[in-house]
Structure 1
Amino acid sequence: MDIIYPSDYSEDKPLPVIIALHGFTGNKKQLDNYWKLSGLVDDKKFILVYPQGTRDSKGRTFWNATEACCNMENLEVDDVGYLMELLDTLELQFSVDSDSVHFIGWSNGGFMSYRIACEHSERIASFVSLAGANYKNAGVCANASPVHVLQVHGTEDGIVE
């Protein structure tokens, strides 16, 4: 996992957090090469976290998100617990603005962002999903508090519909 924070970080000023989740078979390096979020940390003053998903027996990285994607081998993986523990650790080690915690996910990472918003809406302010989707049955999240969401998805995507 990579944690990137402003070079002038001070405990006196709580900072927003962005947790960026890669897609199926992806990794944090690919994600930052594509989004270049680490280059914005000093200017925009936020803490950026790139966690790494689990590897299956074929070496493919994934998040255990929704039934739609991507725990193909049904491994016992608690990614919700992992990401909430990660957030707890960040809040202990850094001065975090707990009202400004955001997730951004690509594909399988977008699915995982939906799951986090569904199960822990009280802990996040917003999320962005690029080519990810919610649960097939949106009623699963009926008890979640409102969370800001930006969903970006192309009409030519033949994999995630």
Structure 2
Amino acid sequence: MNRMLRLLGLLCFLLSSCSSPFQTEQLPIQAPTFIGGLRPAEVVVPREYDHKERYPLIILLHGYSATARLNDLIFQLERRVDIADFILLLPEGTENPDGDQFWNATPECCDYFGQGVDDVVYLTALIEEAKATLAVDPQHVVLLGHSNGGYMAYRMACEYPKLFKRIVVVAGLSFLNPQDCLGQDPVSLVHVHGTEDEVVSYDLGADEVSRWLSKGGCDTGFSLMATKDFNSGLMGEETEILIVRGHEVCNFFV
């Protein structure tokens, strides 16, 4: 588990960038602890938060039946807010009749009771509110989604790709029918997936990455860059880091 946490911590560093000074109008000196109105999302800012600077914004989208705080126990983003100097936003999905929180991402996942929640509208409004009330660098907005949250991150990339610097998906997919992904704009993508995943297929994840590479005009073939030992419970270096051949701008991890 500790090795997995270090891997996910490394993802956080990939997402962050140094803050830069800027002049702003009307931003409150103190950052709010929640935004989002009737669906409040917790805000975590660096201890040395300065409303006259701009910070990367990372939005963590939890998995099915989880909560934002529960997912952050795995990703450990809050403890890196001061280290990497970014703002963390922790929104919650909607509770279904079974008491499980979910994101209404695609027909496959995960509005199983047909509640019809428009999470695209919610998250879009949440990002706009964050830009208006927090010292966010609009050029460095990142969605990090796990499982059902990964589906939601892909859904947002299909419909509003210009809102983000990149998305990071762990064990998630987009629409099974590629034609349902309306947007044609590419996004910067980090996709992490376990080959032994019995819930969300690794092979479908690889297909998903290939589709996004095609959107960006990138080579859809992968080559092995490195192997790593992130799991002490398995013998040897169980993790492969794959890279797109011949395109620096298309390099990604899977």
1:65 to 2:115 alignment? no
Q: Is the 8 A contact 2:150 2:170 kept in 1?
A: yes
1:150 to 2:150 alignment? no
Higher relative contact order (CA 8 A, sep 6+): 1
Q: Which amino acid aligns with 1:57?
A: P
Match of 1:47 in 2: 87
Match of 2:60 in 1: 20
Match of 1:133 in 2: 173
Q: Is the 8 A contact 2:150 2:173 kept in 1?
A: yes
Q: Secondary structure at the match of 1:14?
A: strand
Residues 13-55 of structure 1 show CA distances to partners (whole Å, capped at 9, x for unaligned) of 1111000010000001211111110011111111101101000
Unaligned runs of 5+ in 1: none
Residues 108-149 of structure 1 show CA distances to partners (whole Å, capped at 9, x for unaligned) of 000000001110001111111111012112233353321111
Structure 2 distance, partners of 1:142, 1:8, is 40
* Deviates further, 141-150 or 56-65: 141-150
Q: Secondary structure at the match of 2:53?
A: coil
Q: TM-score, normalised by structure 2?
A: 0.62
Structure 2 distance, partners of 1:104, 1:81, is 18
Q: Is the 8 A contact 2:108 2:175 kept in 1?
A: yes
Q: Is the 8 A contact 2:62 2:147 kept in 1?
A: yes
1:96 to 2:139 alignment? no
Look at both structures and tell me which one has the larger radius of gyration over its CA atoms.
2
Q: Which amino acid aligns with 1:39?
A: R
**Which stretches of structure 1, 4 residues or longer, exceed 3 Å deviation after superposition?**
none
Aligned length: 161
**In the alignment, which of 100, 124, 131 is matched to residue 164 of structure 2?**
124
Match of 1:8 in 2: 48
Structure 2 distance, partners of 1:57, 1:128, is 29
Q: Secondary structure at the match of 1:39?
A: helix
Q: Is the 8 A contact 1:110 1:133 kept in 2?
A: yes
Q: Which amino acid aligns with 2:60?
A: A
Structure 1 distance, partners of 2:123, 2:182, is 21
Q: Which amino acid aligns with 1:133?
A: L
Q: Which amino acid aligns with 2:170?
A: L
Structure 2 distance, partners of 1:108, 1:144, is 22
Alignment of 1:29-48 (within 5 A): 29-48=69-88
Q: Is the 8 A contact 2:166 2:189 kept in 1?
A: yes
Structure 2 distance, partners of 1:160, 1:133, is 8
Q: Is the 8 A contact 1:5 1:48 kept in 2?
A: yes
Match of 1:115 in 2: 155
Structure 1 distance, partners of 2:192, 2:50, is 34
Q: Which amino acid aligns with 2:78?
A: S
